[in-house]
Amino acid sequence: MPQFYSRAMSEMFQPEIESMPRPELEALQLERLQSTVSRLRTNVPVMAERLTNHADPTSLSDLASFPFLRKADLRDNYPFGLFAEPRSNLARVHASSGTTGKPTVVGYTADDLSIWSDCVARNLIGAGCRPGDMLHNAYGYGLFTGGLGLHQGAERAGMIVVPVSGGNTERQLMLIDDFAPEAICCTPSFALTLAERLGASARDSSLRVGVLGAEPWTDTMRDEIEERLGITAVNIYGLSEVIGPGVSCETAHQDGLVIAEDHFLPEIVHPETGDVLDDGEVGVLVLTSLTKQAFPVLRYWTGDLCSLTREPDPDGRTHARMSALVGRSDDMLVIRGVNVYPSQVEHTLLGVEGVSPHFQLVVTRDGTLDSLQVRVEGSCVDTNEVEAKLVSSLGISVTVVAEADGAVPRSEGGKLNRVDDQRLL
């Protein structure tokens, strides 16, 4: 039987920072916010112009008067127009694939990379990893921030990294078997692919902790991954525009994703009005970097929907915690006027006996009428039952098609796109 880390055990990598009293933390945030605004005014002409009519913040609540920065701003200033350091001071660039051809490019100084390593090391230690543990790192290496982000954080935490990257599932299975890593990081969909290929032997693997993220997943999917792989699976969140993985992560308590608030200031705002919402309310996560040198962001509109709590966690961490994402404000599908999130479909499907966690949404348009088809797997699935459940949770009619096992696209390590929106073609 695999050995579990106790869920009650969640150590801190930087306890003095992670459990800093909130008044002290907020004073530090204000000081850092002021220097970020000043850096943007001095070093980034585009931002200096935008901030002309804005006074320097004298309290954290002043942040709400500043304009949002959006993905389109990064695109408009491609590739390096928003960088706040000369090229010679950069240590690395990363990029995330854009929907319109050109990627979104971000840069790091050596200090930025070091802070990033600390953030990810906090995540790994909080998740239950320990110095000397081996990490099978199946996030993609390259321009994507997942591979190198987890890599350097694991090294900072004193772990042994297997930099396997994405793809080649068979080889990954062999390496897990031969090297016996204690921890794995990859997308949740890839964790399921691995569990599926390992079959009954999955629970006997050496793995105890999974640090999974970069794409949406639900608690039901987590239960399935934990059950099949015999691991504690925590949710890690981040985005390249803000730093990469390590913006926030659950601890072994699995009770909200702790944001590294000494480096990233979170706000939750109304998706349409942009007004700041209270803790507990769901809205768009907006992030301001507080220490980044090469690519500082002021009020970056992530498009990710979640809520915040500022209650301390069971170990005494004082930094704000965000809920798992409930969706994105912009990957929300509007089908016949109804807002549909893929995560809603997933949640419903996973509650039906016999339906595997693999599914795909296909949206088509005939004249002006949109149709939603949900492809699921499982030869003995009662499609009428699944349809009825989806109709009641989504509020629109759906056709469910049960396919043979393996017919729905799988993750081979990268992010999985569960939506085939043919209306866009």
> Between 57 and 244, whose beta carbon lies closer to ligand DLL?
244
Measured from the CB of residue 243, what is the shortest distance to ligand DLL in angstroms?
9
Measured CA to CA, the distance from residue 345 to residue 374 in angstroms comes to 9
- CA-wise closest residue to 343 among 236, 218, 191, 190: 218
- CA-wise closest residue to 139 among 110, 96, 102: 96
> Between 239 and 335, whose beta carbon lies closer to ligand DLL?
239
Structure tokens at 52: 């002309």
49, with CB counted inside 10 A (0-12, 13-18, 19+), is: exposed
Measured from the CB of residue 237, what is the shortest distance to ligand DLL in angstroms?
4
Measured CA to CA, the distance from residue 387 to residue 24 in angstroms comes to 52
Q: Is the dihedral of CA 295, 299, 305, 306 positive or negative?
A: positive
DSSP for 161-193 reads EE---S--HHHHHHHHHHH--SEEEE-HHHHHH
Measured from the CB of residue 186, what is the shortest distance to ligand DLL in angstroms?
9
> Between 319 and 328, whose beta carbon lies closer to ligand DLL?
328
> Between 57 and 238, whose beta carbon lies closer to ligand DLL?
238
> Between 210 and 216, whose beta carbon lies closer to ligand DLL?
216
Measured CA to CA, the distance from residue 192 to residue 71 in angstroms comes to 31
Of all helices (H) and strands (E), which one includes residue 231? none
> Between 57 and 245, whose beta carbon lies closer to ligand DLL?
245
Measured from the CB of residue 328, what is the shortest distance to ligand DLL in angstroms?
5
Provide the β-strand partners of residue 293: none
Measured from the CB of residue 140, what is the shortest distance to ligand DLL in angstroms?
9
> Between 213 and 378, whose beta carbon lies closer to ligand DLL?
213
- CA-wise closest residue to 393 among 369, 417, 374: 374
> Between 119 and 176, whose beta carbon lies closer to ligand DLL?
119
Q: Do the beta carbons of residue 306 and residue 288 sit within 8 Å?
A: no
Measured from the CB of residue 212, what is the shortest distance to ligand DLL in angstroms?
7
Q: Do the beta carbons of residue 158 and residue 125 sit within 8 Å?
A: no
> Between 96 and 205, whose beta carbon lies closer to ligand DLL?
96
Measured from the CB of residue 346, what is the shortest distance to ligand DLL in angstroms?
11
Measured from the CB of residue 250, what is the shortest distance to ligand DLL in angstroms?
9
Measured from the CB of residue 242, what is the shortest distance to ligand DLL in angstroms?
8
Measured from the CB of residue 388, what is the shortest distance to ligand DLL in angstroms?
28
Q: In the complex, which residue's CB is closest to ligand DLL?
A: 213
Measured CA to CA, the distance from residue 53 to residue 55 in angstroms comes to 7
Binding site for ligand DLL (CB under 6 A): 96, 139, 144-146, 213-216, 235-240, 244-245, 302, 304, 325, 328
> Between 37 and 74, whose beta carbon lies closer to ligand DLL?
74
Listed in sequence order, the residues at least 6 apart from 225 whose beta carbon sits closer than 8 Å to its beta carbon are: 188, 191, 192, 195, 210, 212, 231, 233
- CA-wise closest residue to 12 among 112, 121, 113: 121
Q: In this structure, what are the phi and psi dihedrals at residue 351, rounded to the nearest 5 degrees?
A: -90, 5
